[in-house]
Amino acid sequence: MLWDNGPASVRDIQHILNKTRATGYTTVLKTIQIMTEKGLVERDETVRPQIYRPRYSQEQTQRQLVRDLLQRAISGSVKTLVLQALSTKKSSAAELEEIEKLLG
C-alpha cells in the first residue's frame, strides 16, 4: 500500500485498506509497528500523526521476504519453493513463458 500510495499515517493506511477489506485500526497499527521494528518501514516522528514510508523498494523487500521464507519454511530449497508456488495457483501462459526464460 505504501509503495502504491506513498507515505501515510496509520489512519490513512486503514482507510485505504478498508476499501477492499474491513481492517481494524489496532490491527493496522500493530502490523506497521512490527514492520517498523523489522526495518521494513520508516516512521517520521517529527509530525503528528506520525507518517510511515517504505524503507526499501518493493523489489528489495520482496527479495528479502523470499530469502526469509526459503530459510524458515523450506530449508533453503529453491526447487521446493518454486514447486509449491506453482502448485498453489494456476499460472497463465505468459507467466509460465517468463519462468521458462528465467530457467533457460
Question: Do both 37 and 11 map to the same domain?
Answer: yes
Residues 44 and 74 in one domain: no
pLDDT bin (cut points 50, 70, 90) of residue 77 is confident
- Residue-level pLDDT at 102: 85
- Give yes or no: residues 42 and 10 share one domain: yes
pLDDT of residue 104: 77
Are 38 and 64 found together in one domain? no
Instruction: Please indicate, yes or no, whether residues 34 and 66 belong to a single structural domain of this protein.
Output: no
When pLDDT is cut at 50, 70 and 90, the band that residue 23 belongs to is: very high
Query: Taking the model in full, what pTM does it have?
Result: 0.71
Q: Are residues 63 and 39 in the same domain?
A: no
- Domain of residue 27 covers 2-54
Q: For residue 58, how far is the Cα from the chain centroid?
A: 7
Which neighbouring-strand residues pair with 79?
none
Q: If you average pLDDT over residues 22-43, what whole number do you get?
A: 95
Nearest to 53 by CA among 2, 19, 1: 2
Residue 37: what are its φ and ψ, rounded to 5°?
-60, -35
How many domains, in total, are found in the chain?
Answer: 2
In this model, does residue 99 exceed pLDDT 90? no
Bond prior to 49 in cis (omega within 30° of 0): yes
Residues 30 and 71 grouped into a single domain: no
Give 81's Cβ-side CA count (13 Å radius): 14
Task: Give me the amino acid identity at 30.
Answer: K
Q: Are residues 7 and 49 in the same domain?
A: yes
Question: Do 11 and 37 fall into the same domain?
Answer: yes
User: What's the mean pLDDT in 45-62?
Assistant: 95
